[in-house]
Structure formats: C-alpha cells, structure tokens
Amino acid sequence: MAPMSAAPTALVDVPESVEATIEECLRRAAGPGVPADDLLDEAVERWIDHGVALETVLASVHEAIRARLRTAPAHPGDAEPLDLLRGTLDLLDETTARISGAYLRRLDAAPEQPRPGSRTFAAALLAGTATTAVARQCGCHLADEYWILALARPRFPAVPRPGIDPRVWAGRVLRALDLELSRQFPGRGAAVLSADGGTLLLPAADCDDADLEMLVRGLTGAAELPLTVVALRAATAEIPADSAVAHDMLDIALRLGLPARVHRFGDLALEYQLTRPGPGLETLAALLDPLDDQPELLETLGCHIATGLNRKRTSRMLHLHVNSIDYRLRRIAALTGLEAGKSDGLWYLRSAYVAHSYRQSAAPFPYDHRTNTAHLEPVWATDCA
C-alpha cells in the first residue's frame, strides 16, 4: 500500500476518472503518439491507492466503452465502423486484463500486518496476563510502566465517497495506523487496533509528552480524519483497570463533542466524576430536562458557557441580538430555576450541561467549557473528498 499523506486525500470521482482515462486511451490508440499503457497504469495505481473496488472500476470501464460506441456514429471521420468496433473491443480486452492484473499484483505484494506479536502482547497486557515469557514469545520487552492511549476515529463518513469498498477502505486505514506506529516506535509499541480506533500501549520510559503528540499527529495523518485520544500513564499491573478508565474518558470526550486531540486524565477529571453512573448523574442531567423541547435554549446555554458568559460574543456566535440572548437566558432560568448570573446557578448549569449532554450522547452545541472555546461544528465534519 502506498504511503499515506498527512492530510485527507482528495479522492477521484471514479466513473468520471475512468471515462476520461478510457477516452484518452482510445484517442492515443487511434494514431501515433504517446503509448496509452503508461497512462492506464498510472490511473490504475491511483484507483488502487484510493481503495476503489475492482468491480467498480471494471463496471466503469464497460460503461465508458458503451458510451464510446453509442457516440461513434456522431464521429464518422474517426474510423470505419467495423474498424472502430474491433479497436474498441481490443482495447476492452487489454484494459480489463491490465487492470485485473494490477489489482492482483498489488494484492500479492501487500505486506502482512506488521508485528502480529504486538497485538498478542497488547492483549496480554490488557488482560493482566503479560509476563516476561509472553513478552519474549511475542518479540517484545515487558516494561514497568506504560502509556495507555485510547483512541477513536470518527465513523463518519464510513467511506469518503460512493464506489469505495468499505472493507478495502477499512483495511487501508488499519494498515496505515499499524505502519505509522511501527515507524515511530519500531519494536516497542503494542496495539489492538481497528479502523475506528483501539488501544495503544507504549513503554513510558521510551516516550514523553512531545513523543505522544508527534505520534498522534502521525496517526491522524494515517487515519485521514482527526483522532480523539485519551492518554493515561499506568504501572503494568494496573493496565487492565486503567485502560477501562481511559476508554470511559474517551467515551466522555466523544459524547461531549470535545476537540479531537490528546486528552490527559487531568483534562477530563471533572467530566469523569460528573458522569459516573448513579443518582448524582441522573439528578444533574434532569435539571435541564425542561429544555429538551426547546433545543434553541440548550444551544444558547452551551454557547453562553463557552463564551465565558459574554452576552455579546454569544449573540455574535448565534447571530442574534443581545436582547434575544437576554430573553433566552431568562427563559432558561424560569424553566430550570437556575440563573447563569449567579455563582451557584452557574456552577449547577455547567455541571448539569455536562451530565445532560453525556446522557443524551451528544451535546447539541459542542464546546470546551474549560477553555471557553466553542466548536461551531464537530471536528470531523470536513469534506474528505
């Protein structure tokens, strides 16, 4: 598989690309000039790199050929009808064989997933059964402490564009993640990954905060979408329990729509405590239940908290007059009994917003209330095409 870029790849429109390529091959075949073989080979490599399924390409090739034959009478000077038909069929045979052969060669040359022992060792660490014997059998070293990285890649879009085989695309992403980990931490990192995320375990003595940030940047480029990561440091014996905590915190970050970046325990300690199951969570979340039928009020509350209670900034974000913001805040106070202008009311509103958003699985207006930074749209709502 070709190396992945650090930014989302601009994918071709498969039918249009195939049709344009076939038209150019026909044009070159009709007279002297540059051979069509190089053009077709380059196009096929591009389609393979973009994860386009073989059946999609072949279907587009046949459609392009049919379109060429349908328009042939409109160009009587191109060739005699019989010669044109023979040339087109010859091109179809050659093109089909060349494309199929390229896909098969790429399949044969595809490397195995790097270091399968890494996944076995990671599974043992996560289960609490890792020993020096297990590490030796897996070709790994058992460290005293590890960084636990729980990571998630947005599931939207499932594939960047119709015509891309989801299995091919998922396999491409997974290989790219594995290869990036092996490139930055050769022989040291252990991972259990899928195309949507997973768990990385890195010996704590081998990496610092800067190394973690660099790794996540590389993995984000490999995944071609922003990754949300929670990083915890744990002793080897504590990995099973602490990995569960890391994924709980990752779930919190995703539910609250927090930025796609590396989050430490200290960053999410308040949210973690507020969202633990029990009567506290339900009581806090229920404080905002009166706003469920009026989502514009919930949106206004989230935005107002995110702007540090700055009415003018809130009005600009929501494209409303300040008087409209004041009216909505009064409505929130009337419905919940909590006033954002009072310290106790604000504390409860902040906490209730976290609990309510977590319970609803997604904040209606994602924001980072610790840094007073509002996110007007989810970080993954970028057109990867």
Q: Which of 308, 347, 300, 342 is nearest to 325 (CA)?
A: 300
Q: Evaluate if residue 385 carries a pLDDT over 50.
A: no
Confidence of residue 29 (pLDDT cuts 50, 70, 90): low
pTM for this entry = 0.61
pLDDT of residue 111: 46
Identify which of 65-79, 112-126, 329-343, 371-385 has the greatest average pLDDT.
Answer: 329-343
How many residues are listed for the chain in this entry? 385
CATH number (domain holding residue 334): 1.10.10.2840
* Distance between CA atoms of residues 275 and 270, nearest Å: 9
Q: Evaluate if residue 375 carries a pLDDT over 60.
A: no
142, 176: one domain: yes
189, 331: one domain: no
pLDDT of residue 232: 93
One-character DSSP codes across 321-353: -HHHHHHHHHHHHHHHS--TTSHHHHHHHHHHH
Q: Evaluate if residue 307 carries a pLDDT over 70.
A: yes
**Domain presence at residue 374:** no
Confidence of residue 115 (pLDDT cuts 50, 70, 90): low
164, 31: one domain: no
* Distance between CA atoms of residues 221 and 119, nearest Å: 22
Least confident of 13-22, 73-82, 221-230, 376-385: 376-385
Give residue 43's identity as a one-letter amino acid code.
Answer: A
294, 251: one domain: no
**Domain presence at residue 171:** yes
Average pLDDT over residues 127-143: 87
Confidence of residue 219 (pLDDT cuts 50, 70, 90): confident
Domain endpoint, select from 245, 266, 287: 266
219, 291: one domain: no
Q: What tokens appear for 346 in the block?
A: 């604000």
Least confident of 36-40, 247-251, 297-301: 36-40
103, 220: one domain: no
Identify which of 41-45, 96-100, 285-289, 354-358 has the greatest average pLDDT.
Answer: 285-289
Average pLDDT over residues 329-344: 88
40, 59: one domain: yes
CATH number (domain holding residue 191): 3.30.70.270
286, 237: one domain: no
* Distance between CA atoms of residues 113 and 243, nearest Å: 24
pLDDT of residue 87: 73
pLDDT of residue 67: 77
Domain endpoint, select from 266, 297, 325: 266
248, 326: one domain: no
199, 244: one domain: yes
Q: What tokens appear for 219 in the block?
A: 């993995």
Look up the domain containing 324 and give its range: 279-361
**Domain presence at residue 137:** yes
Average pLDDT over residues 128-155: 87
165, 226: one domain: yes
**Domain presence at residue 385:** no
Q: Evaluate if residue 317 carries a pLDDT over 90.
A: no
Average pLDDT over residues 224-252: 91
Average pLDDT over residues 121-129: 91
Q: Which residue has the tokens 């389609």?
A: 47
**Domain presence at residue 333:** yes
Identify the helix (H) or strand (E) that includes residue 312: helix 311-318
User: How many domains does the chain fold into?
Assistant: 3
65, 95: one domain: yes
pLDDT of residue 36: 62
Identify which of 17-21, 63-67, 111-115, 367-371 has the greatest average pLDDT.
Answer: 63-67
Summarize pLDDT for 149-193 with one digit per residue, the tens: 999 887 655 555 555 666 666 777 777 787 788 788 877 788 888
* Distance between CA atoms of residues 340 and 238, nearest Å: 41
The CA-atom distances, in angstroms, between 52 and each of 9, 165, 385 are 13, 6, 14
